Copies of this chain bind each other. A is one copy, B any other.
Amino acid sequence: MSWHLVGKESHEPTKSVAVGDIHIGGSEIVVVAGPCAVESESQIIETARTVRAMGASLLRGGAYKPRSSPYSFQGLAEDGLKLLHQAKEITGLAIVTEVMDPRDIELVARYADLLQVGSRNMQNFPLLRELGRCGRPILLKRGLAATIEEWLLAAEHVMAQGNDQIILCERGVRTFEPMTRNTLDLAAVSLVKQISHLPVIVDPSHATGRWRLIQPMSLAAVAAGADGLMIEVHPAPDHALSDGPQSLTPASFHRLMQSLGPVARAVGRDLPGEKRE
């Protein structure tokens, strides 16, 4: 293989990555939840409280949004980061948010616990190199049509700069199928777990684009060996500024969280809440 740092021998376990006091890649299935974009104080605080109560460990929310159109909502920028920080102080949830510009890394790292590289930037090499020197854990989403090898090599770009705190995120790839937004590639999750020591989480929200598929794909991801999930939750999906059709309501998210435990235990994992009890 063409990588040196991200690989592992088949008998070696996944090396977990710490985000605050959460460990991703250990025995626990970790859930990241929150809205696509931070829209307002009430929206993000309310969502944070809700997903915290239901068992999420990290809060997601975009302050800088990569949008195909320049006329779509682009995020609240630093104001959004501040709202995320406020939600963290209130709920104790660690914060995950996307950074798109190498010049923003220092600012984003001031507010966020886990810095996300989005699909469109998986091969933005200047960004990856800077993140390799930022001292924060990185969430590296798979590119829209990236091969597994390219994905691991993107992680290698970060690690080659000295940062080995990387979590991968499968979020579906582009195919000809029009009934789902992307095609979720769970075999990639299992394969990466076999050939790399990096933890892998799954984003079924972007992968499918349909809220009714989030729960079955979450269960399937856990059964496939994923170390965690990243779920879009919005207090009122019909009024979301982006990604409404793929966002869960709090009630649907609750049902999802209730269903996760049995599957996690069936494959020898558990959920954080359950271990704490």
Q: Which of B3, B154, B188 contacts A177 (CB 8 A)?
A: B188
**Does residue A239 face the partner (Cβ distance < 8 Å to B)?**
no
Residue A46 interfacial (CB < 8 Å): no
Residue among A185, A186, A194, A267 having the largest count of chain B Cβ atoms under 10 Å: A186
Query: What residues on B are CB-neighbors of A186 within 8 Å?
Result: 184, 186, 216-217, 220
A259 to B63, CA, bound (A): 42
Q: A207-256: which have CB < 8 Å to B?
A: 207-208, 210, 212-213, 216-217, 219-225
Q: Which residues of chain A (162-189) have a CB below 8 Å from chain B?
A: 173-180, 183-188
- Tell whether, in the assembled complex, residue B2 and residue A69 are in contact, meaning their CB atoms are under 8 Å apart: yes
In the complex, A100→B160 CA distance in Å? Answer: 19
13 new A-B pairs (CB below 8 Å) besides A121-B124, A262-B267? A101-B102, A120-B125, A149-B178, A175-B176, A178-B178, A186-B217, A187-B217, A190-B217, A217-B224, A220-B221, A220-B224, A262-B265, A263-B263
Is A107 located at the chain interface by the 8 A CB criterion?
no
Chain B residue at minimum C-beta to C-beta distance from A118: B123
Residues of B within 8 A of A70 (CB): 153, 156-157, 160
Minimum-distance CB pairs A-B, first 7:
A145-B145, A262-B266, A101-B126, A223-B223, A120-B123, A190-B216, A220-B224
Contact B174 A145 (CB under 8 A): yes
A191 at the interface (CB under 8 A from B): yes
Q: How far is the CA of A154 from the CA of B2 in the complex (A)?
A: 32
Decide yes or no whether A54 CB sits under 8 A from chain B. no
CA distance A67 to B179 in the complex (A): 20
Q: Which of A117-151 contact B (CB under 8 A)?
A: 120-121, 123-126, 143-150
Set of chain B residues within 8 Å of A123, measured between Cβ atoms: 66, 68, 120-121
Listed by A's residue number, 16 A-B pairs whose Cβ atoms lie within 8 Å are A2-B68, A68-B123, A70-B153, A102-B103, A120-B124, A121-B124, A147-B176, A147-B177, A173-B176, A174-B176, A175-B175, A175-B185, A178-B178, A187-B207, A187-B217, A223-B223
